[in-house]
C-alpha cells in the first residue's frame, strides 16, 4: 500500500447533515456522511483518514474523468449523445473524480449555459416559440392582440425556453452522476465521494401538446394519401415515428392479424405483439384494410414514409399547427411525437390498464408514462360526473 500525505481534516454541517473534508496529497476532497450527528461524523472522518493514510482508496483518488467515462461506456454498455459528451469532455477534461465537487458542478452549469452556441440556440428558439404562440392565440380572432396579451406570451415563452436550457444542463449532470454511481458500484470510487448534484428541480418545459381526432382528420386532408396508413397507425398506437418507420412485413403474420415488434425497436427492449384484428376477424385499425392490399416483400417497410417530415411540417404550417420556413427549413409546432401523448391519453381515458397501455406504447418507466398521460379538464369533469351517477 502507498503511504499518502493526509491532513487532519474537519467536518462541516451543510444543510441537515455533516460533510467530511480531507486534503490528500495536496488534493482537497469532500465527502457526505449522511448523518446530522456531529460525533458520528467525526468518527467517520477518523476512519476515512486512516484509510487514506494506508492508501486504501488510492485508485479512487487518482482516477480521472476520462477513465470513469470510458469505464461507463465500455463496461456499462452505455451510449453517450454527442452533445452531452462534448460538454462533459470539454469542462471536465483531465480532472480527478474526487475534485468533482458541488462547487465544480455549479461552475459547470454556469459555464455550459453561457456558451455562445447555447445562447444563439436559445435566441432562435425563443423567436420561433413567440411566433408560434402568437399564431395560436390569433386563430379565429379578427382584432389585434392587446399589449398585455403580447407581453404575457413573450414572458411565458421566455420562461419555457429558459427552462429548456436548464433541462438540457440537468441531463448532462444526470449522465455524469450515473457515471459516478457506476464507478461506485464497481468499487472504483467510494460512494461517499459522489457529491450532491445541483439538479434544478423547478424546471418544467415538457411538451404537453396532443392532437385530437379533429386534428387528425385535418392533417389527413393535407397529407399525401400514401402517408395516411402511417399517420393513422401512429395516432392509434402512440408508437414513435422512428420506430414505426422501421417496421417491416417480416413482422406481420401471413393473415395480417398480428404485428410482432422486436425488442431492438422498443425503448424498453422488450418484444411485444400488437393485434391488428378483433377476435371476430374485423380490423381493429381502419388502416389494416389498406395494408392487406399492399404487396409484401421480405424486409420491405410496412409503411411508405417518404418525405414524411417535410410533408408533416408543410401540412401543420397550412393548418396553423406550426410555423415552417421552407427556405431555412426552420420549424416550430406540432410534432409526430404528439401522437404518442395522444395515444397514451386516449388509452387512459378508455380505461385500459396501465401495464397494458405501457406495453402498447412501449414505455419503459411508470414516471415517463404518467408524464405522457395528459388528462384535460373535460376528462376530469366527466370522471366526477360518472362517480356521482350523472
Please write the tens of the pLDDT for every residue from 169-197.
999 999 999 999 999 888 788 787 788 89
Beta bridge partners of 27: 24
Class in CATH terms, 213-387: mainly alpha
Neighbours of 331 (CB within 10 A): 21
Residue 56 DSSP class: T
Residue 174 DSSP class: H
Please write the tens of the pLDDT for every residue from 3-45.
568 888 899 988 888 888 888 777 777 777 878 899 988 988 8
Q: Any idea where the domains of the chain sit in the sequence? A: 10-62, 76-193, 213-387
Distance CA 228, CA 282 (A): 20
Closest CA to 97 of 72, 61, 52: 61
Neighbours of 151 (CB within 10 A): 11
Residue 110 has pLDDT above 70, yes or no: yes
Residue in the structure block whose three cell numbers are 396508413: 229
- pTM for this one? 0.56
Assess contact for 109 and 173: CB atoms under 8 A: yes
Distance CA 143, CA 371 (A): 36
Please write the tens of the pLDDT for every residue from 305-331.
999 999 999 998 888 787 777 776 778
Assess contact for 145 and 137: CB atoms under 8 A: yes
DSSP letter string, 211-279: --HHHHHHHHHHS-GGGHHHHHHHHHH---HHHHTT-BGGGB-TTS-EEEE-GGGSTT---EEEE-B-T
Query: In this structure, is the dihedral angle defined by the CA atoms of residues 267, 272, 276 and 277, taken in order, positive or negative?
Result: negative
How many angstroms separate the first and last alpha carbons of the chain? Answer: 77
Q: What angle do CA 40, 45, 46 make, to 5 degrees?
A: 100
Secondary structure (3-state) at 100 = coil
Distance CA 103, CA 101 (A): 5
Please write the tens of the pLDDT for every residue from 40-56.
889 888 888 887 777 65
Distance CA 320, CA 136 (A): 7
Closest CA to 323 of 133, 145, 121, 119: 133
Amino acid at each position: 500500500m502507498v503511504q499518502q500525505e493526509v491532513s487532519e481534516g474537519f467536518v462541516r454541517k451543510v444543510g441537515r447533515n455533516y460533510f467530511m473534508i480531507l486534503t490528500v496529497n495536496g488534493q482537497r476532497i469532500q465527502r457526505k456522511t449522511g448523518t446530522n450527528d456531529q460525533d458520528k461524523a467525526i468518527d467517520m472522518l477518523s476512519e476515512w483518514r486512516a484509510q487514506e493514510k494506508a492508501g486504501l482508496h488510492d485508485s479512487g483518488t487518482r482516477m480521472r474523468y476520462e477513465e470513469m467515462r470510458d469505464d461507463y461506456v465500455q463496461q456499462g454498455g452505455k451510449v453517450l449523445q454527442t452533445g452531452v459528451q462534448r460538454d462533459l469532455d470539454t469542462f471536465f477534461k483531465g480532472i480527478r473524480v474526487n475534485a468533482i465537487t458541488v462547487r465544480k458542478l455549479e461552475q459547470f452549469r454556469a459555464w455550459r449555459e453561457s456558451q455562445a452556441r447555447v445562447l444563439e440556440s436559445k435566441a432562435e428558439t425563443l423567436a420561433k416559440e413567440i411566433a408560434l404562440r402568437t399564431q395560436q392565440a390569433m386563430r379565429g380572432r379578427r382584432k389585434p392582440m392587446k399589449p398585455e396579451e403580447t407581453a404575457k406570451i413573450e414572458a411565458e415563452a421566455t420562461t419555457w425556453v429558459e427552462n429548456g436550457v436548464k433541462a438540457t444542463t440537468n441531463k448532462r449532470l444526470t449522465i455524469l452522476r450515473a457515471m459516478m454511481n457506476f464507478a461506485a458500484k464497481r468499487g472504483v470510487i467510494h460512494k461517499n465521494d459522489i457529491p450532491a448534484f445541483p439538479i434544478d428541480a423547478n424546471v418544467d418545459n415538457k411538451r404537453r401538446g396532443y392532437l385530437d381526432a379533429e386534428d387528425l382528420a385535418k392533417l389527413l386532408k393535407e397529407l399525401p394519401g400514401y402517408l395516411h396508413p402511417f399517420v393513422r397507425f401512429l395516432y392509434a398506437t402512440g408508437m414513435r415515428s422512428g420506430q414505426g418507420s422501421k417496421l417491416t412485413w417480416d413482422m406481420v403474420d401471413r393473415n395480417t392479424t398480428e404485428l410482432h415488434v422486436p425488442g431492438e425497436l422498443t425503448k424498453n427492449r422488450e418484444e411485444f405483439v400488437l393485434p391488428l384484428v378483433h377476435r371476430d376477424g374485423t380490423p381493429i385499425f381502419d388502416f389494416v384494410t389498406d395494408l392487406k392490399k399492399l404487396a409484401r416483400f421480405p424486409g420491405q417497410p410496412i409503411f411508405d414514409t417518404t418525405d414524411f417530415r417535410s410533408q408533416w411540417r408543410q401540412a401543420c404550417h397550412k393548418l396553423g399547427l406550426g410555423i415552417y420556413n421552407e427556405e431555412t427549413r426552420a420549424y416550430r409546432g406540432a410534432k409526430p411525437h404528439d401522437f404518442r401523448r395522444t395515444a397514451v391519453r386516449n388509452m387512459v381515458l378508455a380505461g385500459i390498464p396501465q401495464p397494458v397501455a405501457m406495453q402498447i406504447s412501449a414505455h419503459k418507466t411508470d414516471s415517463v408514462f404518467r408524464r405522457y398521460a395528459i388528462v384535460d379538464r373535460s376528462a376530469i369533469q366527466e370522471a366526477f360526473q360518472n362517480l356521482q351517477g350523472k
